[in-house]
Structure 1
Amino acid sequence: MAAPPTSSFKSFQTNLTETKAHSTTTNGNPVSRGPSPNRGASIQDNEAIGSESVTQKSWLSEQGIDRSKWVMLRKLSHMRYQHENLDEITVFMRDFGMHVVKKTDTERWYSGYGPDQYVYYAREGPRKFLGGAFEVESYEDLEKAAEIHKDRLQTKGIEEIHSAPGGGHIVTITDPEGFPLNLIHGQTPTDPKQMPAKLIVNDESTKPRQRQFQRFQPGPAAVHKLGHFGLVSADFPALQKWYTQNFNIVPSDLLYVNLPSGERKEVALFAHLDRGQDLVDHHTIFLSTLTPDSSIPEPHVHHCSFEVHDFDTQALGHQWLAEKGYKNVWGVGRHILGSQIFDYWWDTSKFMVEHYADGDLVNEDTLVGYGPAGHEGLAVWGPDVPTEFLH
């Protein structure tokens, strides 16, 4: 286990109201005080995670994971779904902040303003999840995946991508739960796009924005990139083992429940890509356990999440989607694990999609955190967690 948090972090967590009320007096009488004001701070990763944690190296050793067997993932590329009505989902995606980069009679590719050729692929057909797509480090990683998982292939080995922007090659396999996993390599780079300007912000002591007024244009929250996606599994231990043993996917946080026997049962995983010292998103994939009271009784995709520029962008995007009559699931609020400001919506096929901003970054030196699973641990602030989010 890691060392306990330092006194500075303990001080940050402490509620001072009681202490001050008993220790501070006027003429021998306790001073009446209101509740301590809320506080926020950017805390160093391992200090914020605390003592209920292990190093990434020790976790991998405990699991008996052989890094040489990994298919090396470079980044999360795009999501793939099947929709009955492509025109309908295209209107939603534009309102969500993407634009069509290419289309055919039966397919659509949608891009953001980030470095990817596209961040979302839609195919015409009955409602269906077609999996997330990761870019692998090399063509040899495609060959490795195709050979190791030849009994799980959905493609005819490695296939050339002819129709999609940027081309490249793809291998699609299924995980133990039956979810498709798409691995791609060799896309040609896309042209750089215009990045939004960073707002200059005044606080109570520092006023860098002088004779400059904040002004905003209503519209969709422009999507930058795909950040992560989540899967709900009937056999969480098997799915976690498969992803972490076969790919450079390692935990950022593991959530557990306490059983009547006193044992802990792990029920959720927030995992990032192990890229050594390179900083990566806190989680690229999220796995959780299917609960008996779930409104969807079989394994399913939970949501996929796309990065936007900042909080104002996100709030304006929320307003835009609400005015268009789309159904909000949960948000706007701020998560604890990952720290993102979140906003979840149903698309026109009843798949959940998320905008997020201001997410955490980690690397191999960031500890693996453990914590209890519970609704109260999902957000720092925001609306109450709706039941439909927990499906």
Structure 2
Amino acid sequence: MDRKIKLVRIAHVYYTHKDMDRERRFLEDFGFQEVKRSGSKTYYRGTGTEPFVYCASEGDHNEFGGAAFVVESKEDLEYAASSLPHATEVHEMLDEPGGGLRVTFKDPVDGFPFHLVYGQTPTVASDAGLLQRKFNFPTQKFRPGNQFQRFKKGPAPVHKLGHFGMCVTDFAKTYDFYTSRFNFYPSDLVYDESGRDVTTFLHLDRGLELVDHHCFFFFEGPESHVHHSSYETYDFDTQSLGHDWLREKGYENCWGVGRHIMGSQIFDYWFDTSHFILEHYVDGDLVNSEHPTNRSKASPDGLHVWGPDLPPTFLQ
């Protein structure tokens, strides 16, 4: 049996857009920071240490170009190049912020690209001011007297890429591939009326290290496509300010604001100008190897505990 390739974290995603001028405005209004332009590509970072979290390319078709994960070692990257389906050779990331090495392979079931990277140079985090906010609760007051909460209207700053999700055409084959070849492990499995698993939320098994409840999810459907990519921001105030900013700019809300059940995060989904779905989230769960997989039956009520009703467009 092939050994597992050890992943450390999700790093960035790639999208292609037909109208880059409109999309650049959306991405800035969503809370990304432009870091570099190179040819047809524009790179965006968050306020964390990843050199970039989103790469937007201009092209003839609106397309999702896959997500990238950091591998634990150069040996993992070399093993990936020699063992994964339709994998490239290890190659330098010459134009990307942070540099580093990359291998790209094709998902064996639906053929979407998947990237593995190693050796990127981190950038300096720029979120110090956003971490100083204190809150008062009925029995615990964390904000000193005579200090006030004052907010400025604007985008909700993206801190990091948290997860992405795919619709796949064969759940069982896809699940077997990713859980046998990588250290993905299910936080949640969802089954249909027949008892067959059709959705999973996967975290990275890093032993006792706490990691996000999921960094990759997929569900079964008739045609493979990206569902959404998700970006962490700071707190509910920041998220709500971003929601109002996007609404006032005339962008189309997909679903939110609400609270998920699996993962627990407060969510806010938006359509970008190419009609891809991007999510702001806050307050997600953390898990480690002590967390047993939860298995539940698929239900519209199983996706959120409060917030607007689930819109049909979200599942389509």
**Same fold? TM cut 0.5:** yes
Residue of structure 2 equivalent to 1:228: 163
Residue of structure 2 equivalent to 1:105: 39
Alignment of 1:149-164 (within 5 A): 149=84, 151-153=85-87, 155=88, 157-164=89-96
> Quick one: which of 182, 186, 203 aligns to 2:115?
182
Aligned length: 312
> Quick one: which of 341, 348, 352 aligns to 2:266?
341
> Quick one: which of 118, 128, 132 aligns to 2:52?
118
Structure 2 counterpart of 1:121, which letter? C
Q: State the alpha-carbon separation in 2 of the partners of residues 324 and 212 from structure 1.
A: 31
Structure-2 change in CA distance of 1:377 and 1:198 (3 Å) = farther
Residue of structure 2 equivalent to 1:321: 246
- Contact 1:86–1:108 at 8 Å: present in 2 too? no
Q: CA deviation at 1:205?
A: 2.3
Q: CA deviation at 1:158?
A: 1.1
Per-residue CA deviations over 1:1-41 (Å, capped at 9, x if unaligned) read xxxxxxxxxxxxxxxxxxxxxxxxxxxxxxxxxxxxxxxxx
Residue of structure 2 equivalent to 1:170: 102
Q: State the alpha-carbon separation in 1 of the partners of residues 142 and 117 from structure 2.
A: 45
Given the alignment of the two structures, is residue 332 of structure 1 paired with residue 264 of structure 2, yes or no?
no
Residue of structure 2 equivalent to 1:353: 278
> Quick one: which of 16, 21, 26 aligns to 1:82?
16
Q: State the alpha-carbon separation in 1 of the partners of residues 14 and 177 from structure 2.
A: 21
Moved beyond 3 Å, runs of 4+: none
Structure 2 counterpart of 1:186, which letter? G
Q: State the alpha-carbon separation in 2 of the partners of residues 273 and 115 from structure 1.
A: 19
Q: State the alpha-carbon separation in 2 of the partners of residues 206 and 189 from structure 1.
A: 37
Residue of structure 2 equivalent to 1:192: 125
Structure 1 counterpart of 2:97, which letter? P
- Contact 2:48–2:124 at 8 Å: present in 1 too? no
Structure-2 change in CA distance of 1:337 and 1:198 (3 Å) = farther
Q: CA deviation at 1:360?
A: 0.3
Residue of structure 1 equivalent to 2:204: 273
Structure 2 counterpart of 1:285, which letter? F
Residue of structure 2 equivalent to 1:255: 190
Q: State the alpha-carbon separation in 1 of the partners of residues 132 and 294 from structure 2.
A: 32
Q: Which structure: larger Rg?
A: 1
Q: State the alpha-carbon separation in 2 of the partners of residues 313 and 303 from structure 1.
A: 21
Per-residue CA deviations over 1:138-183 (Å, capped at 9, x if unaligned) read 111111111112x422x3x111111011111111101121111000
Q: State the alpha-carbon separation in 2 of the partners of residues 96 and 132 from structure 1.
A: 19
- Normalised to the residue count of structure 1, the TM-score between the two structures is 0.78
User: What residue ranges of structure 2 are gaps of 5+ in the alignment?
Assistant: none
Alignment of 1:42-81 (within 5 A): 69-81=3-15
Residue of structure 2 equivalent to 1:142: 77
Structure 2 counterpart of 1:230, which letter? G
Percent pairwise identity? 50
Q: CA deviation at 1:86?
A: 2.0
Q: CA deviation at 1:84?
A: 1.2
Normalized per residue, which structure has more strand? Answer: 2
Q: State the alpha-carbon separation in 1 of the partners of residues 257 and 127 from structure 2.
A: 26
Structure 1 vs Structure 2 CA RMSD: 1.2
- Contact 2:233–2:281 at 8 Å: present in 1 too? yes
